Amino acid sequence: MKKYNNNDFSIKDIDKEVTLYGWASKKRNLGGIIFIDLRDRSGIIQLVINPDNPNYDLALQIKNEYVLEITGVIKKREHSNPNLKTGEVEVLVSSLTILNKSEELPFEISDDITALEDTRLKYRYLDLRRNQLKNNLIMRHKIVTEIRNYLNNLDFLEIETPILCKSTPEGARDYLVPSRINKGSFYALPQSPQLFKQLLMVSGMEKYYQIARCFRDEDLRADRQPEFTQIDIEMSFVTEEDIFKLVEGMFKQLFKNIKNIDLPNVFPRIKYVDAINMYGSDKPDTRFEMLINDLTSIFKNTNFTPFQKEEVNCIVVKNKADFYSRKKIDELLEFIKIYDADNLFWLKYSDQISSSFYKNLSVEEQNSLIKNLSLEENDLVLIVSGKRKIVKTALGALRLKIAKEIDIIDKDKYNFLWVTDFPMFEYSEKENRYIACHHPFTMPNDVNMLDDKENCYARAYDIVLNGYELASGSIRIHDPKIQQIVFEKLGISKEEQEAKFGFLLEAFKYGVPPHAGIAPGLERLTMLMCNTDNIRDVVAFPKTASAYDLLTKAPSTVSENQLKDLGIEVIK
């Protein structure tokens, strides 16, 4: 095994004889002397081969990415390189072996890569040689290690649950695996270990965790992959407060030990309703203000038709009116149309107010608007009116877009936030019925509210970091009678209950403890800790946005015989 890492050496190692291994990452020939940057996982050290060296001719053959074994003596460098950790030393090579050659690479292994992402994904193993991706994988490893240490110290058990299983209830489409032995039957890959972790509570495991692989067949976004990893946690005999404390402690330790950042002992909390009202999102980015103001009451008797709507809301962009030309504001309108908003009214505040709507208001409305928003010179007011959901979502998205445009987000901040009291139900336009907002095993805040689907809230919580949903969780229903009622309210028939969750309902007959859990997403956490907004940057072998693996070319067709074995026919 390798005894040394390249990065181990400094001025205190002068005259030490070492044997090193790695890849030739750069070769220069200066006045007959050959310099090679030898790279291993730890970093780079410079090798020197003089013309009188017996290995000189061999060294001349070395090209980028050749794999080398060298022995030599550490020497002080004449001109040190402040960009390298080993920049003050070099190795005077005495023996050299080329362990393997490399063909010319499809792209250069460099920090400022220009190759297309598709090429990099096809040759992922080469891309992983680059510092950025390598460091991301190291970060991911550190995170998992810290989490394991933290939870193990608190007496949690790490328990694996099946990958080939029955459909689980996270609401996405399942990946299915046909069974050869039971033709016509399918396993589903777990969307999460939800039902198994609840069963482990029935078994009396009390404190469970798993670094769990999850699979969801849904449309991909920048922060989603078809397979991903959750830090899946479940505990018995706990309340929300226990879960909050556990998770706060976990992130606190993680950030301290890995990034030397002190997080607060207790994270701020906001109710779902307030998050929507103030930030237009259930995952608010609280690194900047620019909250949504509700102006509906000011305009409740207005004659201005566009404001005679369910809600009239606005955001105020402080001291940036001059930055937003009419053309730029038109672009903002185009942007919020994505969120189904159809209007954007603006006002630039100064001695001379300029506005797309101000003169249409009554003097009373004008005065209350200005007073209500405490406007100052050069403030820009952006108003959207319409249905509540559209208004909030559009302004929430606008708030984020503008914050990025005017660069007011402090990138060094890590703002954790609990979002609590989620709705129990949400209306699915696709299915034309109410579905569970979290999952059907979530405890309602008040069982008596279950008939009022729009106003029934759940003991469900999310943890949000800088505008990303990092984890969801909930207090589970442990009373079979309540579970029955919730299933009924969700329109899940007895037959469906039996077919989908019969085993869980059966288990719940035999003494189920009160329990609750949460599942932080490992990729999103790693992304945020690595300062990237591309999930593929923190996955060793990721899929493209169309769920394709460019490296192995999966998914792919299979042979007729394989299909026959499975009793499957593909419709062309």
Other C-beta atoms lying within 10 Å of the C-beta of residue 511: 9
Minimum CB–partner distance for residue 195 and ligand ASP (Å): 9
**Which parts of 31-84 are beta strand (E)?**
33-40, 43-49, 67-76
Report the run of H or E that residue 564 belongs to, with start and end.
Answer: helix 560-566
For 17, list phi and psi in degrees, rounded to 5: -95, 130
The site map against ligand ASP for 478-517 (x = CB under 6 A) is: ---------------------------------------x
Give the count of alpha carbons within 13 A of 178, CB side only: 12
Minimum CB–partner distance for residue 186 and ligand ASP (Å): 21
Q: Given the complex with ligand ASP, which of 386 and 517 has the nearer CB atom?
A: 517
Minimum CB–partner distance for residue 298 and ligand ASP (Å): 39
Interaction of residue 472 with ligand ASP, rule CB under 6 A: yes
Cβ atoms of residues 216 and 543 within 8 Å: no
Minimum CB–partner distance for residue 241 and ligand ASP (Å): 16
Measured distance CA(528)–CA(414) in Å, rounded:
9
Minimum CB–partner distance for residue 156 and ligand ASP (Å): 14
Minimum CB–partner distance for residue 167 and ligand ASP (Å): 13
Q: Of 6-35, which residues contact ligand ASP (CB under 6 A)?
A: none
Only one residue has tokens 């200066």, namely 30
One-letter-per-residue 3-state SS of 332-395: HHHHHHCCCCCCCEEEECCCCCEECCHHHCCHHHHHHHHHHHCCCCCCEEEEEEECHHHHHHHH
The two tokens of residue 513 are: 């403890």
Measured distance CA(122)–CA(127) in Å, rounded:
9
Interaction of residue 518 with ligand ASP, rule CB under 6 A: yes
Cβ atoms of residues 344 and 382 within 8 Å: yes
Interaction of residue 386 with ligand ASP, rule CB under 6 A: no
**DSSP letter (8 states) at residue 225:** -
Q: Which one of residues 139, 456, 463, 519 is an interface residue with ligand ASP (CB under 6 A)?
A: 519
One-letter-per-residue 3-state SS of 84-111: CCCCCEEEEEEEEEEEECCCCCCCCCCC
Query: Which residues, in sequence order, are CB contacts of 419 under 8 Å at separation 6+?
Result: 269, 270, 271, 272, 275, 282, 283, 284, 461, 462, 463, 464
Minimum CB–partner distance for residue 172 and ligand ASP (Å): 10
Minimum CB–partner distance for residue 144 and ligand ASP (Å): 18
Count of residues that bind ligand ASP according to CB under 6 A:
9
Q: Of 94-133, which residues contact ligand ASP (CB under 6 A)?
A: none
Minimum CB–partner distance for residue 242 and ligand ASP (Å): 14
Q: Given the complex with ligand ASP, which of 39 and 459 has the nearer CB atom?
A: 459
The site map against ligand ASP for 156-195 (x = CB under 6 A) is: --------------x---------------------x-x-
End-to-end CA distance of the chain: 52
Other C-beta atoms lying within 10 Å of the C-beta of residue 30: 8
Minimum CB–partner distance for residue 234 and ligand ASP (Å): 7
Taking CB under 6 A as the binding criterion, the range among 28-36, 68-76, 349-357, 469-477 that sits at the site for ligand ASP is: 469-477
Measured distance CA(28)–CA(541) in Å, rounded:
33
Taking CB under 6 A as the binding criterion, the range among 148-156, 341-349, 468-476, 562-570 that sits at the site for ligand ASP is: 468-476
Q: Given the complex with ligand ASP, which of 210 and 472 has the nearer CB atom?
A: 472
Maximum distance among all alpha carbons in the chain? 94
Q: Given the complex with ligand ASP, which of 346 and 461 has the nearer CB atom?
A: 461
Minimum CB–partner distance for residue 112 and ligand ASP (Å): 37
The two tokens of residue 110 are: 């460099």
Taking CB under 6 A as the binding criterion, the range among 110-118, 406-414, 471-479, 500-508 that sits at the site for ligand ASP is: 471-479
Q: Of 535-564, which residues contact ligand ASP (CB under 6 A)?
A: none
Minimum CB–partner distance for residue 522 and ligand ASP (Å): 12
Secondary structure class of 382 (helix, strand, coil): strand
Q: Given the complex with ligand ASP, which of 87 and 171 has the nearer CB atom?
A: 171
Other C-beta atoms lying within 10 Å of the C-beta of residue 221: 9
Cβ atoms of residues 6 and 41 within 8 Å: no
Q: Of 192-211, which residues contact ligand ASP (CB under 6 A)?
A: 192, 194
Q: Name the residue type at position 505.
A: L
Q: Of 29-88, which residues contact ligand ASP (CB under 6 A)?
A: none
Minimum CB–partner distance for residue 147 and ligand ASP (Å): 15
Secondary structure class of 379 (helix, strand, coil): coil
Interaction of residue 474 with ligand ASP, rule CB under 6 A: yes
**Interhelix angle for 522-529 vs 131-153, to 10°?**
120
Q: Given the complex with ligand ASP, which of 397 and 482 has the nearer CB atom?
A: 482
Only one residue has tokens 């579970």, namely 483
Helices (H), 260-313: 272-279
Q: Given the complex with ligand ASP, which of 235 and 333 has the nearer CB atom?
A: 235
Interaction of residue 420 with ligand ASP, rule CB under 6 A: no
The two tokens of residue 58 are: 């061999």
The two tokens of residue 176 are: 């299915």
Minimum CB–partner distance for residue 427 and ligand ASP (Å): 19
Measured distance CA(485)–CA(506) in Å, rounded:
16
Interaction of residue 473 with ligand ASP, rule CB under 6 A: yes
Measured distance CA(98)–CA(86) in Å, rounded:
23
Minimum CB–partner distance for residue 472 and ligand ASP (Å): 4
Taking CB under 6 A as the binding criterion, the range among 21-29, 42-50, 472-480, 483-491 that sits at the site for ligand ASP is: 472-480
Taking CB under 6 A as the binding criterion, the range among 45-53, 119-127, 153-161, 466-474 that sits at the site for ligand ASP is: 466-474
Interaction of residue 529 with ligand ASP, rule CB under 6 A: no
Cβ atoms of residues 134 and 530 within 8 Å: no
Q: Given the complex with ligand ASP, which of 408 and 505 has the nearer CB atom?
A: 505
Q: Given the complex with ligand ASP, which of 444 and 517 has the nearer CB atom?
A: 517
| R_g of the chain computed on alpha carbons | 30
- Chain residues in the site for ligand ASP (CB under 6 A): 170, 192, 194, 472-474, 517-519
